[in-house]
Structure 1
């Protein structure tokens, strides 16, 4: 049976994991005969040694092995590859049927980072350490390694539009699965998104311009 690969990447604090969980839940409800599994790239973070703030911090081989999956499937399967570097590896990109980038600006990422760690921060000294980590590590990592993967995306969605963005993703993936089950998509040749989108509702035209852009 076919395996459909969807990669969801993006910057720090863009709620990639939450978005992937939302997609998984919606797909399981839409297709009761389809397995929807998550391959979390961020879970492969190499905690031993000094953080490199680059692709060297992650184990792409582990995710690639899961995505390629030499086993014979007994049912339809959707694999959701999630993580900041989900669109980084060219081998995974070649296998993906849909590649998504959750976008955000630098100010928003820093503000979200501070808000998420505010319970751990006590005093100006710890806040200064966090800001220094952002300036010397996270921001350069974003510009040098993560932001360039945006060019590989079929779909780019501002991370602040969580509900609409996730719903657009679900609709797009549902269409890919439906066409695959109907034999419309060759699984060994991943299709780009834009030939498959079919906005039948006029109300989506405004949302299309406001919330996402096609590469």
Structure 2
């Protein structure tokens, strides 16, 4: 449910169960006596390496575990790419302090024991080819003791405890909102309080994908670049001061809206700034646009070579057009 609500962000799910150790020949002979619910059943070192790489922006290959054969697939892996949000799921992920230290948020799903048993019976009989008797025997011998010894004590490490799991829509909404808030706290915004970063959406990422494609046509590159620039201009206009204004609608009712406090103008830095002029004109009808040329090898790294600005620029709010145009590499 968290993944579904974060649909406009890149989210990956990593299951602790993928990191089960493969059983050796002797362990396979006595598989019914093997405790799969003990922390030692997992390759925690590999799990740590995987999550650390994902957090550093690297893609990883997650092993695929065969729960019927109790072995890892030797020739296939699941490719997991770096994402905005990494969800690490498993009943024992809080047991090891090193794993806990990698987490920004720790959630404990508190579910009734009867529900847990019913889910295990359904999963093990349907997905893992086991019969009910073996499931109940394993539950009494290993699962319940492991829960009491390892899982329940780890509850104290949780930042959030959710009763009823996915049925608790209020808790899910609060968690998703918290994640969105954290994603919005861009590193640059923490350093420079006057910097604003537009929140990424599938629409924006789609246009970024198009303009970074080396096979895109010149016409399409210009079209989608203009769309992105217009989004930036519109977002910037939203940060200008406004005053309240009332108008009479065609139905003779009064509508209370807003108006710009002062007149606007744009200043384009030659030559890159000219790529933003059309978007500014499209958003602000009849706006005046001045131009300046800067030679960056002058004193203090900057030297004004040319300027042509509106005469009343001191009475206007200025939108400085200075994009950084990259190659996409």
Counterpart in the other structure of 1:12: none
Counterpart in the other structure of 1:39: 14
CA contact (8 A) 1:46 1:57 kept: yes
The CA RMSD measured in Å over matched residues stands at: 3.2
Counterpart in the other structure of 2:49: 65
Matched, 1:24 2:3: yes
94, 103, 107: which one pairs with 1:100? 107
Structure 1: how far apart are the matches of 2:113 and 2:120?
11
Counterpart in the other structure of 1:209: none
Structure 1: how far apart are the matches of 2:56 and 2:138?
45
Counterpart in the other structure of 1:167: 173
Report deviation, 1:169.
Answer: 2.3
TM-score, normalisation: structure 1: 0.60
Counterpart in the other structure of 2:299: none
Indicate the structure with greater helix content. 1
Which is further off, 148-157 or 53-62?
A: 53-62
Report deviation, 1:100.
Answer: 0.5
Counterpart in the other structure of 1:110: 117
Structure 2: how far apart are the matches of 1:69 and 1:44?
15
Q: 1:161 to 1:154 in 2, by over 3 A?
A: same
Q: 1:41 to 1:129 in 2, by over 3 A?
A: closer
Alignment of 1:157-196 (within 5 A): 157-162=162-167, 164=169, 165-181=171-187, 182-183=189-190
CA contact (8 A) 1:41 1:82 kept: yes
Task: Give the greater-gyration-radius structure (CA).
Answer: 2
TM-score, normalisation: structure 2: 0.41
Indicate the structure with greater strand content. 2
**SS at structure 2 position matched to 1:149:** helix
Report deviation, 1:97.
Answer: 0.9
Deviation track 1:15-63 (CA, whole Å, cap 9, x = no partner) reads xxxxxxx32343241x4xxx42222211112241343230011122122
Counterpart in the other structure of 1:212: none
CA contact (8 A) 1:41 1:59 kept: no
Which is further off, 66-75 or 109-118?
A: 66-75
Question: Which blocks of at least 5 consecutive residues in structure 1 are unaligned?
Answer: 1-21, 121-125, 185-215
**SS at structure 2 position matched to 1:98:** coil
CA contact (8 A) 1:103 1:158 kept: yes
CA contact (8 A) 2:12 2:83 kept: no
Larger RCO (CA under 8 A, 6+ residues apart): 1
Matched, 1:81 2:65: no
